[in-house]
Structures are given as structure tokens and as C-alpha cells.
């Protein structure tokens, strides 16, 4: 037996900090320190010999509202597909310490990753509440899901509140305005407790007022969760992005704050130069959609 017991103090050195305080920190529940981040390394997606994503690295921390932009075909949606198990990928995607590459999409969802698609996929015939209930997978049978509930679970209530649909909870989702449907989809990710939200063009087709509300919603959600937004709308990006990754031909072209990427000559070239496929303008004030 040796008396060389490994304690925080023995690792860090006596006097480096209060050992008692460190013991307390280590004993605390892990949830207190949850600070998720998405770490993508050398991600590659090849479709029949065509390289759609070519060695992408991406790190997005909780509290950072990251926008992914780039001309049509740059690989934005394919990256989201690869993260969520819908496109065959190599490399590494880690979230919350879990490797996602090679996992089936339902296992990726179980790891706390949720996504929306360019077109909202809610059940039009069911009420807002029923859509959320189903997403929450409350473990009840189909009939009890369809029956009007006397009480609403706290998570569903909180999601309704967050996405601003409490007053519409009993209306069929089919009658919601376009923006409201997108908010319902985001609410469905919240009740699933997605901690990483990947949103594909969430404001496409929305009115200016809806865009504004969506931006504020994403900022609220982004305080607690890791949010990545694929977007073409440059006005929306300028108003709400806290950081931006610009993709081009499957690679990261530029990354930084909105101001930094707007000032990057390579971004200007891709958006305003020869690349005819570009939609919008990342550089200057000349473009919107």
C-alpha cells in the first residue's frame, strides 16, 4: 500500500486552490455544470464519388447562436444531415461527449440532438397540444393522446410558453400561420429536450414581424441550448447571429462574427464575384434575399 492517494489537491498541488472547495465542486451533480458543445472534426460526406462535405471542422458552444451560410450547394444541409444520421459521413461529430457519426438518426435524437427541415412537418389535423404531446412521447397510447387532456405536462406547458403558442394550444396545427408552424416545430424539439437544435432555414417564407419574433425566440433558446441555424436571409443573420461559418464547395471558407466574415475578401468573392449560384449578400449592405 502506498499513501500516495490521488486527491484533487495531490493532482493540482497543495496550495493551488482550496482542496475543500474543489471536493465540493466535484461532488456536485453534473447537471450543474452542463455546458454542451458541438465539436465537428474532419467531416466528410461523399455521394457516389461527389464530395459534398470536404473535411469540415466546426465548434459551437452553448450560448452561441451560430449561423451556417454559403451559396447553394455549399453543403449546409448535408452537414446537418450528417450530424443527424441522415447522410453517410466520416470524421467525428461529438455532442455532450457522445460520438454521433455512424449512429442511426433515432439514437442521435436520443443523444439530445433535434432538427427542423426546410418545410415544417407538423400534423395538420392534430391540435398544437397534441403535436407537442406526440413529440414529447409521453408514453401514452394513441387514443389517450387524441383525447382532450385535463392537465398539461410541465414540459409541454413551458414549450408552449417559450414559442408563444399557449393561446393557440387547442387549434388544429393546420390553421396556424406559416411562422407559427415553424415555432411549433421548435417547440416539439424543446419538449424532446433537444440540447442541440439544428434549424434549416427557419425564417424562409416568413413575414418581417415573424422573422423578428423568430430571431428573439432563437436568442432565448440559445441561452440554454446549442443552436445552429442554416440560413440564406442576410438581414436576419445580421440582426441575430452571434457567430457565422461560411461554407463554400463543402469547405469552411470563413468563420467569425458577422462583421469579420463580411470583411473577409474570400466571402465577398464567393458572394459577389464569379459564384453565380450565390443567393443574398454576406458582404456590405447590397443584398438581402
Ligand X SMILES: Nc1ncnc2c1ncn2[C@@H]1O[C@H](COP(=O)(O)OP(=O)(O)OP(=O)(O)O)[C@@H](O)[C@H]1O
Contact footprint for ligand X (CB under 6 A): 47, 50, 52, 70, 72-78
Q: Which of 47/117 has CB closer to ligand X?
A: 47
Least Å from the CB of residue 45 to ligand X? 8
Q: Which of 133/185 has CB closer to ligand X?
A: 185
Least Å from the CB of residue 215 to ligand X? 20
Least Å from the CB of residue 73 to ligand X? 4
Least Å from the CB of residue 225 to ligand X? 22
Please state the φ and ψ torsions of residue 146, each to the nearest 5 degrees.
-80, -20
Least Å from the CB of residue 196 to ligand X? 18
Least Å from the CB of residue 77 to ligand X? 3
Least Å from the CB of residue 113 to ligand X? 18
Q: Which of 78/180 has CB closer to ligand X?
A: 78
Q: Which of 70/202 has CB closer to ligand X?
A: 70
The region that residue 13 occupies, defined by phi over 0 for left and psi between -120 and 50 for alpha, beta otherwise, is: left
Q: Which of 102/277 has CB closer to ligand X?
A: 277
3-state secondary structure the chain: CCCCCCCHHHHHCCCCCCHHHHHHHHHCCHHHHCCCEEEEEEEEEEECCEEEEEEEEEEEECCCEEEEECCCCCCHHHHHHHHCCCCCCEEEEEECCEECCCCCHHHHHHCCEEEECCCCCCCCCCEHHHHHHHHHCCCCCHHHHHCCCCCCCHHHHHHHHHCCCHHHCCCEHHHCCHHHHHHHHHHHHHHCCCCEEEEECCCCCCCHHHHHHHHHHHHHHHHHCEEEEECCCHHHHHHHCCEEEEEECCEEEEEECHHHHHCCHHHHHHHHCCCCCCCCCCCCCCCCC
Rounded CA gap, 253 and 24, in Å?
A: 44
DSSP β-bridge partners for residue 5: none
Q: Which of 24/72 has CB closer to ligand X?
A: 72
Residues 6+ apart with CB under 8 A from 131: 122, 123, 173, 184, 188
Least Å from the CB of residue 134 to ligand X? 28
Q: Which of 47/175 has CB closer to ligand X?
A: 47
Q: Which of 88/174 has CB closer to ligand X?
A: 88
Amino acid at each position: 500500500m502506498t499513501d500516495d492517494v490521488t486527491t484533487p489537491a495531490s493532482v493540482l498541488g497543495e496550495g493551488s486552490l482550496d482542496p475543500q472547495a474543489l471536493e465540493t465542486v466535484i461532488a456536485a451533480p453534473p447537471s450543474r455544470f452542463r455546458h454542451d458543445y458541438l465539436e465537428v472534426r474532419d467531416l466528410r460526406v461523399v455521394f457516389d464519388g461527389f464530395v459534398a462535405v470536404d473535411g469540415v471542422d466546426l465548434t459551437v458552444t452553448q450560448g452561441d447562436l451560430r449561423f451556417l451560410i454559403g451559396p447553394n450547394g455549399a453543403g449546409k444541409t448535408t452537414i446537418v444531415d450528417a450530424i443527424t444520421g441522415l447522410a453517410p459521413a466520416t470524421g467525428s461529430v461529438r455532442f455532450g461527449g457522445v460520438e454521433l457519426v455512424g449512429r442511426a438518426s433515432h439514437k442521435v435524437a436520443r443523444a439530445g440532438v433535434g432538427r427542423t427541415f426546410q418545410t415544417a412537418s407538423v400534423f395538420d389535423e392534430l391540435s398544437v397540444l397534441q403535436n407537442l404531446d406526440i413529440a414529447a412521447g409521453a408514453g401514452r397510447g394513441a387514443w389517450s393522446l387524441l383525447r382532450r387532456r385535463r392537465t398539461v405536462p410541465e414540459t409541454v406547458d413551458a414549450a408552449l410558453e417559450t414559442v408563444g403558442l399557449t393561446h393557440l394550444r387547442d387549434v388544429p396545427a393546420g390553421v396556424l400561420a406559416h411562422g407559427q408552424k415553424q415555432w411549433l416545430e421548435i417547440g416539439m424539439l424543446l419538449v424532446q429536450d433537444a440540447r442541440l437544435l439544428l434549424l434549416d432555414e427557419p425564417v424562409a417564407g416568413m413575414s418581417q414581424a415573424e422573422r423578428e419574433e423568430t430571431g428573439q425566440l432563437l436568442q432565448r433558446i440559445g441561452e440554454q441550448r446549442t443552436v445552429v441555424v442554416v440560413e440564406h436571409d442576410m438581414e436576419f443573420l445580421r440582426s441575430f447571429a452571434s457567430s457565422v461559418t461560411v461554407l463554400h464547395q463543402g469547405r469552411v471558407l470563413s468563420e467569425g462574427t458577422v462583421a469579420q466574415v463580411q470583411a473577409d475578401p474570400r466571402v465577398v468573392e464567393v458572394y459577389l464575384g464569379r459564384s453565380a449560384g450565390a443567393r443574398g449578400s454576406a458582404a456590405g449592405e447590397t443584398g438581402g434575399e
